[in-house]
Amino acid sequence: MINSRDIAELHPAAARGCREFIGRMRSAGYPNVGISATYRDKTYQDWLYAQGRTRPGSIVTNAKGGQSIHNYRLAFDFFRNEPGQTPDGRPLAFADKTAGERAFWDTAGRIWTEMGGVWGGSWQGFVDRPHCEFTGGLSLGNLQAGRLLAADIKMPWEANIKQPEEVKEVEKRYDYVGDMPPWAQGTVHKLVGNGFLNGDEQGRLNLSADMLRLLVVNDRAGVYRKDTGGL
């Protein structure tokens, strides 16, 4: 049976979302967020389903094997990763009674929803406040039928990140023959001497590397020979 807590077991988009979620929770004042159930195999899901039914304990899921988004690497559970108990003896990790305790879950649900995921705490009926999922629009039926979430899909929070503007490389330009590459100096010197090229008042030619290459190619092709009507 497999019940992983490894974020890397999630689909790449869900994994990136999970890490971003943890960071945003930290910024919101909750630095101790634990993650579990990043992937459950169907055998473990059936074992979990049996709890409270054919096995001792309270019912914790209504999903059999293949009926949980956790079985498809598109969901994770989270909890308050702090040891100990509340004053009335409840496990602190999932404490959800006082306003302060509930603020942890409400903040998490708001953050995950804003990121474009689905929070189990917003469900009607079986409310699952520790549950976060991202299916990219695929239904459980789609997943059961074998459809896969595209490997390169992005969650809405990623798609909305403003990408830095592309930094354009500044094109190097040459003002004086002595600063030009050796392979261009002879051609440019000849063209300047014959009056084909003229600089500005300070004698700057302001030629790009591409222009230098064109001038050299034309020179080697004889374009500037006097017998061709050139220089």
| Residue 168 falls inside a structural domain | no
152 & 212 share domain: no
| Residue 218 falls inside a structural domain | yes
If you compute the radius of gyration of the chain from its CA atoms, what whole number of angstroms results? 33
Residue 95: pLDDT over 60: yes
Last residue of one domain, picked from the residues 114, 131, 159: 159
Predicted local distance difference test score (pLDDT) of residue 102 = 93
- Asked if residues 66 and 45 have their Cβ atoms less than 8 Å apart, the reply is yes
User: Which DSSP letter does residue 56 get?
Assistant: S
Two structure tokens written together for 84: 């100990």
Place of tokens 């990121």: 115
| Residue 164 falls inside a structural domain | no
19 & 133 share domain: yes
Predicted local distance difference test score (pLDDT) of residue 7 = 97
Number of domains in the chain: 2
Residue 63: pLDDT over 50: yes
Residue 163: pLDDT over 60: no
| Residue 186 falls inside a structural domain | yes
Tens digits of residue pLDDT in 182-213: 988 988 888 888 877 787 777 788 888 888 88
- Rounded-to-integer distance, Cα 67 and Cα 49, Å: 10
- Rounded-to-integer distance, Cα 189 and Cα 179, Å: 12
Q: What's the domain range around 58?
A: 3-159
* Residue 51, H or E segment: none
* φ, ψ at 37 (rounded to 5°): 55, 45
* Residue type present at position 168: K
11 & 36 share domain: yes
Predicted local distance difference test score (pLDDT) of residue 165 = 54
User: Considering the entire predicted model, what is its pTM?
Assistant: 0.68
Tens digits of residue pLDDT in 28-37: 999 999 999 9
44 & 140 share domain: yes
| Residue 149 falls inside a structural domain | yes
| Residue 33 falls inside a structural domain | yes
pLDDT bracket for residue 74 (50, 70, 90): very high
140 & 177 share domain: no
pLDDT bracket for residue 89 (50, 70, 90): confident
